[in-house]
């Protein structure tokens, strides 16, 4: 009588299918992580840019204050000034509000537009205010 001996070998490790599945899951997770890093870096750049613009607005308001001006149309206007911060241009224009209709008293309001431009003129931020002539 012969005895046949069947040996079943179980090897420790992963099958090719398990390895491929793990690589696919890891790749997906890394892709999501990479995308979120790119978005966060862009948000940091935008925040830094906005902070710089606010800083230039502040510098311009300190250099060219609207308080105690005699003639709004002359004294409030600021020609483009690029000396406040490199790469940024501060400018202020003044326009008289549209003429009132006939029979309506002029309210003396002026539209004051303060603008900061940067990035070779491609980016602009503007603040619009109204000033009243007090004479």
Domain extents in the chain: 16-132
Cite the beta strand spans of the chain per DSSP E. 78-81, 88-96, 109-118, 123-132
pLDDT (tens digit, 9 = 90+) per residue, 80-107? Answer: 999 999 999 999 999 877 666 676 676 7
Where does the pLDDT of residue 62 fall: very low under 50, low under 70, confident under 90, or very high at 90 and above?
very high
**What is the pLDDT averaged over residues 14-18?**
89
To the question of pTM greater than 0.85 for the whole model, the response is no
Gap between the Cα atoms of 9 and 99, Å rounded: 97
């Amino acid at each position: 009588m012969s005895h046949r001996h069947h040996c079943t070998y179980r090897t420790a490790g992963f099958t090719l299918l398990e390895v491929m599945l793990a690589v696919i899951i890891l790749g997906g997770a890394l892709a999501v992580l990479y995308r979120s890093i790119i978005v966060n870096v862009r948000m940091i750049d935008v925040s830094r840019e906005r902070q710089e613009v606010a800083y230039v607005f502040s510098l311009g308001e300190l250099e060219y204050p609207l308080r105690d001006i005699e003639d709004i149309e002359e004294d409030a206007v600021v020609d483009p000034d690029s000396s406040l911060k490199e790469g940024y241009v501060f400018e202020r224009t003044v326009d008289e509000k549209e003429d009132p209709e006939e029979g309506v008293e002029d309210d003396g309001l002026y539209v004051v537009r303060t603008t900061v431009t940067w990035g070779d003129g491609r980016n602009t931020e503007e603040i619009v205010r109204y000033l009243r002539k007090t004479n």
